Structure 1
Amino acid sequence: MIPSSLNISRSALELLFDLLSTPKMELSAEQFKSRHEYRELLAARLLTPVSSTPVSVCIDGRDYDIIPNATGPGFGYFSAGAGWVNVPMEDLQRYQVDSLRVFAVLRNWLDISDRSPIASLQHDVIWDLGDTWVGKRKLAVLFVRRAHLPVSMHLLRQALQIFPRRKSAMVLTDLPFHHFGPDLPGEPLCTDLMGLISPGEEAVSTIDKELIADLLGLGIPKRNQNGPVYCSEDGGELVVNGETYRFNGLIHRSIIRQLYEAWQGGESRVRKEVLLETAESRSNTISQAFSGCKNEWRKVIDYGDGCGWLKVE
C-alpha cells in the first residue's frame, strides 16, 4: 500500500533513476553513506538491504575481494601494505532498488489502478504498469529500464510489435535516451520520468498530467475559477465552493463526472441506475458504490428517491 502523501525530494528521485539504470541496481555501504538522499530512499522503502554473502568491498573508492576470516568470524581482505584487514559487517552491506515498489509509487502518482498486476514484457527491462486517463484519452503506460542502451530500445521495438495497446501507449524511461533507427511500432510518446517533473519542484508527490497532455497535443482545459463547481475531465478532481475533493477509483470518477455534467447541463438529479450502469458498477446503491471511498464524498454527493446529485448550495 502506497500512502497518497508520499513525497520524495527531486535530488533523491534523480539518484533513484540513476541507480535503476545500473546493471544490478545496487550500491555499496560506502556509496550509501556518501549521500543523505539514499537514506531518504531507504526510509521510503525504495531501497532494500541485500541479504547475500559479501564478495567485495569498496574502500576509499577501491574494490577489494572479501574472504571469510580463517581464524574467526567476519570477513576481511589482504592488503599489500597492511596484511590482513578486518572489515566491519556494516561496511559490507549493500542496497538494491526495490523496482516493484518504485513501479507502485509511479502508478500511484499516475492514478493507475492497482487492481491489475504489473506485467513484465521483457525480463528486467520493460514493464506494463497499466492504464491511466489523460483527459478523455486512455493510455497504456510502459516503463523501460536502461533506456540509454541500444539493446533496450531494440527490445522495446520487439515488445511493441505484439503489444495490443501500442497505438495508445506512453513509454516512461529511467534516463533520457537517443532514439535511432525506424519509428517505434504505434509511435508512442516516449519520455524520461524526470522530464515530467517541473524543474522548480523540490518535493515530488505526483506527475503532472497536464504536461503529458501537452506532449500528446491534447491540451487538457484549464480549471474554470469563476463557477462554484469544477471537475477534471477524468472525474478525479472535484472542486465545490472552493473545497477540493479527489477520487482515485474508476467507478467513483465516472459517477462524479456524470453528476458534474448533469449539474452543468442544468439537471439537478441523475437516476441511480444510470449512474451505476454507466460506471460499470456492480453495486445496488450509490452508497455501496462509494463504500471504499473516504467519507468526504458525502459532503458533495447526496442521494434519495432513486437519484443522485451534487450538493452545491
Structure 2
Amino acid sequence: MPSSIDRKAADLLLSVIETPDAVISGSVLDGYYGRVAPALKAAGILQPKDHSRAAVSLVDHEDEPVNLTWSPEHRAYGYFSPSAGWVNVPGDQLATYRVNFNTLLEQLLERLDLSPRTGPVELVPDLLWEVGDARLPGRSKRTSVWIGRRLCEPAIWKSFIDAARKRPAPGLRIVLSFTPGNRLPTDVHLGHTLIAVRDVADHNGHAVVPDLLAARVAAGSQLNDDLITMAADGASLTVRGTRYAFSGSKQRAIIRQLYDAWKSGHPELLTAEVLESAGYSTSVNTLAKAFSGRAEWRDFIREENGRCWLFL
C-alpha cells in the first residue's frame, strides 16, 4: 500500500466505497479533500468515470452545489455568480471519480498469503467478491476470505446470504466488510464471521494486517457484551467470559447447533437430531458419550429427557 495514503485518505475512501455507486465528484474531492485527493488518485484507487454537470460553488455558498452550463464565449463549463459574474469551473473538477475495485482489493490484501492469486471473483456485481484462501498466523488450515461493501443495506445483505447458501463455508469463512462494525448485522450466517476492514487495517487504515485479522477471528465476531459468543468455525465458545475450546469437528458441530438455537430464542433441541447432524454413529446417543473424556461442557450445556440446550 502506498505510504502516501494516510488515515484521513483511507477514511475518505471508505466513505466513498459505501455510497451506492462508489463515486465522488471532482469538485467535492478537490474542494473539500484537496490534501488527501492526490494520494488516492496517484495510487490508482480513484479514477475518472465521466463528467458531472454540477459542482461546488467556488465563490458563493460553498456548501451548496450549483448547476453548470456551457459558455460558448468562454468555451468552458461554469455558472453565473451574483457577486463574481461568470465563473469557469476547471476541467478536473467536472470529473466524477469512481473507486477502482481491482486496484483497491489488490492493495488492501497485499499482506495476506492468499491462494490462489488469480484475482478476486465477483459474486454479487460491484458488492461482494471472493478473494481466495488465506493462511493466517496461528491457524494450520487456510481460511476462505470474501469481501463486501454496503452489507448494512437489507437488500444487499439478502444477496450476501443467498451467495453464502450457494457456496457454503468450508468450516470458516471470513467476510471483510467496508461497512463499519457498528452498522453490521449481528445475525451472521452459519460458518461466517464478519469483520470490518477498519478494525484489522494498519495504522494508515488501508491494508489488512494478518496478525490483527487472526486475532479477531480467534475472538469471534459477536458483540463483546453478549453473554455467550462463538467463534465462527465453532472452535470455541465463550460463556460469561470463560472460553471453552473444541478441537474435534463433530464436537464443534454440536456447539454450532446449540449456539444457533440459543441465538434464535428457541434453545431446546432433540439430542438425537443434534448428534445425527454432527455425524455421530447411532452408538453415540447422548452428549455425555459425544463429549467423553471432558466434563466442562456441563458448565453450559444441559441434557435431559432426550433434549439438550445451552444455559447460563
Q: Shorter-chain TM-score: what band?
A: 0.5 to 0.7
- Give the aligned partner of residue 26 of structure 1: 23
Unaligned runs of 5+ in 1: 220-313
Write the mapping of 1:132-211 to structure 2, written as runs, cut at 5 A.
132-134=134-136, 135-165=139-169, 167-177=171-181, 178-180=183-185, 182-184=187-189, 186-197=190-201, 201=203, 203=204, 206-211=207-212
Distance 2:184 2:36 in 1: 31
Report if the CA contact (8 A) 2:108-2:206 is conserved: no
Distance 1:63 1:145 in 2: 27
Task: Look up the SS of the partner of 1:31 in the other structure.
Answer: helix
Report if the CA contact (8 A) 1:66-1:77 is conserved: yes
Report if the CA contact (8 A) 1:6-1:205 is conserved: no
Distance 1:5 1:39 in 2: 12
Give the one of 64, 88, 91 matched to 1:89: 91
Cα distance, 1:132–1:6 mapped onto 2, change above 3 Å: farther
Letter in 2 for 1:209: P
- Give the aligned partner of residue 111 of structure 1: 113
- Give the aligned partner of residue 216 of structure 1: 217
- Give the aligned partner of residue 43 of structure 1: 42
Report if the CA contact (8 A) 2:175-2:193 is conserved: yes
Deviation at 1:78, TM superposition (A): 4.7
TM-score by length of 1: 0.59
Deviation at 1:173, TM superposition (A): 0.8
Unaligned runs of 5+ in 2: 221-312
TM-score by length of 2: 0.59
Deviation at 1:88, TM superposition (A): 2.9
Distance 1:133 1:182 in 2: 26
Cα distance, 1:193–1:205 mapped onto 2, change above 3 Å: closer
Distance 1:179 1:166 in 2: 22
Report if the CA contact (8 A) 1:107-1:114 is conserved: no
RMSD: 2.9
Deviation at 1:168, TM superposition (A): 2.2
Task: Look up the SS of the partner of 1:19 in the other structure.
Answer: helix
Give the one of 5, 9, 13 matched to 1:12: 9
- Identity across the alignment (%): 23
Q: Over residues 195-218 of structure 1, what are the superposed CA-to-partner deviations in whole Å (9 max), with x where a residue is unaligned? A: 0136xx3x4675332232222228
Q: Over residues 52-100 of structure 1, what are the superposed CA-to-partner deviations in whole Å (9 max), with x where a residue is unaligned? A: 2432112212122223224452212355777754333233233222111
List structure 1 runs of 4+ shifted beyond 6 angstroms.
80-83
Distance 1:98 1:173 in 2: 17
Q: Over residues 148-198 of structure 1, what are the superposed CA-to-partner deviations in whole Å (9 max), with x where a residue is unaligned? A: 3222212111110101445421001112254548541x3311011010136
Distance 1:171 1:210 in 2: 16
